[in-house]
Amino acid sequence: MSEEILINVSPMETRVALLENGLLQGIYIERSSRRGLVGNMYKGKVIRVLPGMQAAFIEMGLERSAFIHSADIVALDDEGIEQRNRGVKNICATLREGQSIIVQVIKDPIGSKGARLTTQLSLPSRYLVYMPHTQHIGISQQIEEEEERTRLRLLVQECMEEVGLVNSSGFIIRTAAEGVGKTEIRNDIQFLKRLWDSIQVKIKAATAPSAIYEDLPLHLRAMRDFIKPGLDKVRIDSHECYIQMQSFIESLVPELDGRIELCQGERALFDLYNIEDEIQKALGRNVPLKSGGHLIFDQAEAMTTIDVNTGTFVGNKNLEETIYKTNLEAASTIARQLRLRNIGGIIIIDFIDMSDKEHQRQVMRMLEKVVERDHSKSNIIGMSDLGLVEMTRKRTRENLLQVLCEDCPECDGRGKIKTVETVCYEIFREILRQSRDYSPRSYLILASHVVVEHLQEESASSLADLEALINKSISVQVEPHYAQEEFDVVLH
């Protein structure tokens, strides 16, 4: 299987695309104006304790206060080590208003909800996750061979003794550690120990509320979290980030040496691989199947429902066989679409009714098999009496629709349109695309009033950066009859 990672970097945002056999399997977007918070640590201040919900609100210096549940507060002994199986039962006995607390973000703000927090701190590296308050060595369930699991656990214990971390902390061994040697494990442990020591110094000096630690930017997180043994290439279109990644892999991912490629050709990187079209398709409700059937995705706040339809597929044998083949194809496509759209929470799948029990089992096996490759943990509950498949998928960040779109003011939220910010970035990419093919004296942007206003105010610095990058002047003009998503770039 051919696997590639494409990284598109601009002054406004970074986008990472994961490809398998040339087909887009996942897209990650991080905007400079709104970076993700997952993994960040803060010294927060308790502003409200809610005994009835066994939860509290924490002020961290962000736009909205964050939320912590008693289940996410770990009990520590006098030496700062987690007391396993002794979770906090009464939040009032642990937190009080005005108290300072060290927390880590485990879920980004989504919709109207603030970030979700925990006091169980963790620091990831290439092969390990460091748990400074936990005396435990865990191991990824995706490493299945018992002999390899035992080898890795003993190797980590040995390296911990050499570094001086015995009985003072714990680790989770990541899937990427399968097959690696002692040198790589020891280097990771030493790196994480140094990082934690520096964080402890910041904790002592910080006042609440303030940031203590921020996770890596997206292009470096991709090198840490998405690299697999079979990876063929990592392609990036930013020279500055390419240099950063080269330095990063030399110290943490040396096996990638020679596989990172700088792509600054005449055509945009995502255009070469048809990624832009795939992103547009992922924003739609209807997903066609190769057989002629189709899926309908309906995303709501409480859950996502997926309806499977045969469409124009009529099959070659009988109705039951036609339904079975459609459902098999749908199961594989659904798993890809969940990754691509980053859909989390409760998911209900309405497969076409099958009377053959063996066909039902085969479809369920297919679904279980294809979700195993997902970076986010999924749990398939099973098929209900109504023939609906219930499953959950871990949700830590906003899904693709939430990142790129907003409620349409024209239809009172019944549909979706692209945000003004998204339209501005599409305009910037179009100008970059035009600059590769033509050499005009200047550019004129024709767009709706709200888009032009955003370009002149919130995106003014980004527009100036773009002018400096292409060394051409860019002017804007309101077109009163243009909808929010409409625009034209005129060359002069």
Find out whether 110 and 93 touch, Cβ atoms under 8 Å: no
pLDDT higher than 70, residue 292: yes
**What is the pLDDT, as a whole number, of residue 224?**
87
Backbone angles phi, psi at 323, to 5 degrees: -65, -45
The confidence score (pLDDT) of residue 78 equals 64
pLDDT the model gives residue 230: 77
Average pLDDT over residues 166-175: 85
pLDDT surpassing 80 at residue 315:
no
Per the CB < 8 A criterion, the answer to whether 264 and 239 are in contact is: yes
User: What is the pTM (predicted TM-score) of this model?
Assistant: 0.85
**pLDDT attached to residue 89:** 67
Instruction: Specify whether the CB–CB gap between 378 and 337 falls below 8 A.
Output: no
Q: What is the pLDDT of residue 404?
A: 92
pLDDT grade, residue 277 (50/70/90)? very high
The pLDDT score that the predictor gives to residue 80 is 60
**70 three-class SS:** helix
pLDDT at 232: 87
Summarised one tens digit per residue, pLDDT across range 384-419 is 878 899 999 998 888 999 999 888 877 667 677 889
Please state which of the ranges 43-47, 65-69, 298-302 shows the lowest mean pLDDT: 298-302
Tell me: pLDDT of 88 over 60: no
Query: Residue 317's pLDDT is what?
Result: 65
Can you tell me the mean pLDDT for 342-358? Answer: 92
Note the pLDDT of residue 104: 95
Tokens of 178: 């399968």
Rg (CA), the chain: 25
Q: What angle do CA 364, 369, 370 make, to 5 degrees?
A: 105
Residue 32's pLDDT is what?
Answer: 86
Is a pLDDT exceeding 90 seen at residue 111?
Answer: no
94 pLDDT band (50/70/90 cuts)? confident
Match 């696997």 to its residue by tokens.
3
- Tokens 């309101």 correspond to 478
Per residue in 448-479, pLDDT tens? 999 999 999 999 999 999 999 999 999 999 99
Distance from C-alpha of 148 to C-alpha of 142, rounded to nearest angstrom: 11
pLDDT digits (tens, 9 = 90+) for 212-261: 999 999 999 998 888 877 788 999 999 999 999 988 888 777 777 778 89
Domains contained in the chain, CATH given: 3-35+217-276 (3.30.420.60), 41-213 (2.40.50.140), 284-393 (3.30.110), 419-491 (3.40.1260.20)
Q: What does DSSP assign to residue 265?
A: -
